[in-house]
Amino acid sequence: MKLKILTFKRKTIVVFLLCIIAIGGLFGAYYSVKASAMPKYSHTIVIDAGHGGRDGGAIGKVTGVTESELNLMYAKQLAKLCQDFGIKAVLTRSDMNGLYDENAQNKKKSEMEKRKKIINSSGADVMVSIHMNSFPLSSSEGAQVFYAKGSDNGFNLAKSVQTNICQVFKSARDFVTVGDYYVINTASMPAILVECGFLSNPNEERLLKSKDYCEKFCYSILAGVISYFQM
Ligand SMILES: [Zn+2]
């Protein structure tokens, strides 16, 4: 009886040890695959979703969608695509909260300073600020890319992104524009502001809200950023 118990115990121990070795091997294989699949970032992009918190930005006339929520949707989509392509993405905001200090007297000033601080401490090679446009004339449509006056690299980045957007979206403007915006004026790296389309145009509002449109649009921005990096 004793001997049987001992044999049983020995067998159990052997099976148990074999299991540990097998599980260990599996984990080892898993982690080595994980380690080799870890992206080695070649570049970093900082993506700025405009507005947020009490500042919703432009509002869609038909559905009431706010610019701040669409900006966040596009910023997150672009960040995901960048990460998938081995470009590290830093977001200035990743939720619907505003960037301002709740106790600040001047919330707009507080927000812009925070935005600038995140952008310039991100260590990014380029900055892309995402916005949605609005205009009294509801027929106005199409994406526009802005860069800061006097920035040659900003111009090159804008040109590259606009060219790629135009290849997919016929409504997009086929030229880039100097824009006097705080985020691109104060960014320490080549920076652009992308107005993805007009929320004041009912048809474009509907398109901008669509996940497919958002993904296609962000792919175009990414393609433009990649070809800028390759210049
Ligand atoms: Zn805006």
Residue 91 reports pLDDT greater than 60: yes
Please check whether residues 198 and 215 belong to one and the same domain: yes
CA of 47 to the centre of ligand 1 (A): 14
> 83 and 34, same structural domain?
no
Q: Do 176 and 99 have their domain in common?
A: yes
| Distance of CA 167 from the midpoint of ligand 1 (Å) | 24
Same domain, 94 and 141: yes
Q: The domain containing residue 151 runs over which residues?
A: 40-229
pLDDT computed for residue 9 by the predictor? 54
Pair (17, 107) in one structural domain: no
pLDDT tens figures, 112-131: 999 999 999 999 999 999 99
pLDDT at 41: 82
What's the CA-to-centroid distance between 58 and ligand 1, angstroms?
A: 6
188 CA → ligand 1 middle, Å: 21
pLDDT recorded at residue 31? 45
Q: What is the CATH number of the domain that holds 141?
A: 3.40.630.40
pLDDT in tens, 30-44: 444 444 455 578 899
Number of domains in the chain: 2
Distance 110 CA to ligand 1 centre (A): 17
- Together in a domain, 4 and 66: no
Q: Give a three-class secondary structure readout of the chain.
A: CHHHHHHHHHHHHHHHHHHHHHHHHHHHHHHHHHHHHCCCCCEEEEEEECCECCECCCECCCCCCEHHHHHHHHHHHHHHHHHHCCEEEEECCCCCCCCCCCCCCCHHHHHHHHHHHHHHCCCCCEEEEEEEECCCCCCCCCCEEEECCCCHHHHHHHHHHHHHHHHHCCCCCCCCEECCCHHHHCCCCCEEEEEEEECCCHHHHHHHHCHHHHHHHHHHHHHHHHHHHCC
CA of 133 to the centre of ligand 1 (A): 6
